[in-house]
Chains A and B, each alone.
Chain A
Amino acid sequence: MPEIHVAKIAQFPDGERRIVKHDDREIGVFHWEGQFYAYENLCLHQGGPACEGVMMHRVEDMLGPDRTWLGQRFSKDMHFVCPWHGYEYDLKTGACVGDRSLKLKRFDVVRRGEDIYVVAG
């Protein structure tokens, strides 16, 4: 399977993302908390550039022991958001947050020396 060069690791800091192209396919590669994740840059909703949107932590409700609502906060889980309509995806799994049975196509990422490649298979 073809390996597409993404970046020199030194030029791809943690917290950033790159979009690479292979034939007609676009792949978003994320560097997050020391790991790399790659997904097809094609939103499952209407085909937007899902991997190009902002990265936002998951919003969660805070409930008290008596189940009263105490407010909201950002959790540690990171999402990226399709800029077209706001579809959110779990950065570590590619699952659509609104329906986790839906997942973006995932690609393997390999490190060879000082370079990062995505396996565009």
Chain B
Amino acid sequence: MDLPLSDFRRQTVEEFDTSKLLAHAARQATERGYKNFPIVDVDSHHYELESFHEILEYMEDPVLQQLAMSASQSGAKGNGVMPGGVGYQDMGGRVTRYPLRKLEKAEGDKHRDITLTKRWMDAMGIDLAVMFPSPMLQLGLHPQIEVEVALSRAYNRWLIDRVLSHEPRIRSMLYLPFNDPEASYRMVKEMGSAKGVAGFMVTSARHRPVHHNAYVKTYALLEEMNLPLAFHAGYNWNDQAMGQMNKFISVHAIGFVFYNMIHLTNWLMNGMPERFPKLKVIWIESGLAWLPFMMQRLDNEYMMRSSEAPALKQKPSDYMRDMFYSTQPMEITDMASLEQTFRMIKAETQLLYSSDYPHWDFDLPSTIYDLPFLTEQTKRNILGGNAMKVFNLDLPAGKMAKVA
């Protein structure tokens, strides 16, 4: 494969192997003794469009299925069916695993996604990973609600059938077709107990008020089933606000907190933590720096305008300390600020390690393990112990003992 470089140069690459790319990560895992305690990655990804034809086989609506199959056959996979488009995740080819992944060989009988996922998990020292899709993170922006429902149902059924049922180290929080509240409820009812399902996930890049009454029975069901609800951040360059920005760095930096800020604010100001006190809510892939801002901003306004949020019995930040957050992309730019953030969000019990691999801004477990202000126990809580409690996970006995 020829990689296009600057100045009209080309670099020819014949092979790609994740284990080789992550050899330094494997060394970190050995040096830090990750084998001695469980590491759970609550946000990782695969590229579902590489299996798009398989997924479309699971689509139940024959007309939509034929439409999607035909559109996909005509151009690139997902073309004409999936929203999204403009974006430069590969950083102009600088992050080489994006273009090179198609060269990677996956031997064995298991699905390619299982083989490749376990390859990077083994390199990083991760015992268990929660897997999410990639392009489908923008499916909530699809203009046809029925297509969001049909595609997400097909994806979830495929995922359970072809991946989760075959690999106990991979779990998922299934995609909720949030633009259709009834379909979301049915999804939880139907698939909430399936093998490998650790909860449900709302892709945050969308325009639905999360406090709407239409979602109440779904939240109640999730609470009853003890399944966490996650909001997975994403960007949307087509949003009018985001459209003012001309760089991917700008849209990514702001977009990945923008929607979660809105959803979190709605969630709090409408008293959802009081109405669903046992529902575990996880905010994924917005990093951590937004949290002190939100706590201070919302507390300050609440003290003056508490009449507008009468369901609250505590300050917004108090509820935020009961929620869960994934670590990545962790802003390690000012250690004192980061330490303060950990204190503010009660990281020792509420923070969940996430890699986001193989995406461009992934974080290794060492981003947590090497922090100078954490105790060994807190590191282990964040890297795995907290997630095991949130998801009621089972791991080999030796590793379980390390958590207890």
Contacts and interface: CB of A to CB of B under 8 A. Distances in A.
A54 B12 CA distance: 11
B7 A47 contact: no
A13 interface: no
A28 interface: no
Contact of B91 (A46, A49, A74, A86): A86
A46 B360 contact: no
B93 A54 contact: yes
Contacts of B11: 54-55
B90 to A, nearest CB: 9
Shortest 9 CB-CB contacts between residues of A and residues of B: A57-B6, A81-B94, A74-B6, A83-B96, A86-B94, A86-B91, A56-B6, A47-B24, A46-B364
Interface string A55-83: 11101000000000000001000000101
A85 B25 contact: no
Given A46-B366, A81-B94, A86-B95, 6 more contacts: A47-B364, A49-B23, A53-B94, A54-B96, A85-B361, A86-B91
Contact of B97 (A42, A56, A81, A83): A83
Considering residues B11, B96, B97, B362, which has the most beta carbons from chain A within 10 angstroms of its beta carbon?
B96
Interface string B3-29: 101110001000000000101110010
B21 A86 contact: no
A86 B28 CA distance: 20
B21 A83 contact: yes
Query: How many A residues are at the interface, by size bracket?
Result: 10 to 19
Given A83-B95, A83-B96, A85-B360, A48 B24 contact: yes
A74 B364 contact: no
B251 to A, nearest CB: 16
A54 B24 contact: no
Given A53-B94, A54-B5, A54-B11, A42 B21 contact: no
B363 interface: yes
B88 to A, nearest CB: 11
Interface of A: 42, 46-49, 53-57, 59, 74, 81, 83-86, 88
Interface in B89-119: 91-97
A56 B28 CA distance: 28
Query: How many B residues are at the interface, by size bracket?
Result: 20 to 34
A68 B181 CA distance: 49
Contacts of A42: 24
A84 B91 CA distance: 11
A74 B7 contact: yes
A65 B28 CA distance: 50
26 contacts: A42-B24, A46-B364, A47-B24, A47-B366, A48-B24, A49-B21, A49-B24, A53-B94, A53-B96, A54-B11, A54-B93, A54-B96, A55-B5, A56-B94, A74-B7, A81-B94, A83-B94, A83-B95, A83-B96, A83-B97, A84-B95, A84-B362, A85-B95, A85-B360, A86-B94, A86-B95
Nearest to B92: A56
Considering residues A47, A49, A54, A85, which has the most beta carbons from chain B within 10 angstroms of its beta carbon?
A54
Contacts of B266: none
B270 interface: no
Interface in B55-94: 91-94
Contacts of B93: 54
B367 interface: yes
A51 to B, nearest CB: 11
Contacts of A47: 24-25, 28, 364, 366
A1 B319 CA distance: 59
A53 B360 CA distance: 14
A52 to B, nearest CB: 8
B95 A46 contact: no
A83 B24 CA distance: 12
B362 A85 contact: yes
Contacts of A53: 94, 96
A83 B17 CA distance: 13
Contacts of A88: 94
B7 A57 contact: yes
A93 B24 CA distance: 23
A8 to B, nearest CB: 22
Nearest to B364: A46
A46 to B, nearest CB: 5
A85 B278 CA distance: 38
A119 B138 CA distance: 50
Contacts of B360: 85-86
Contacts of A57: 6-7
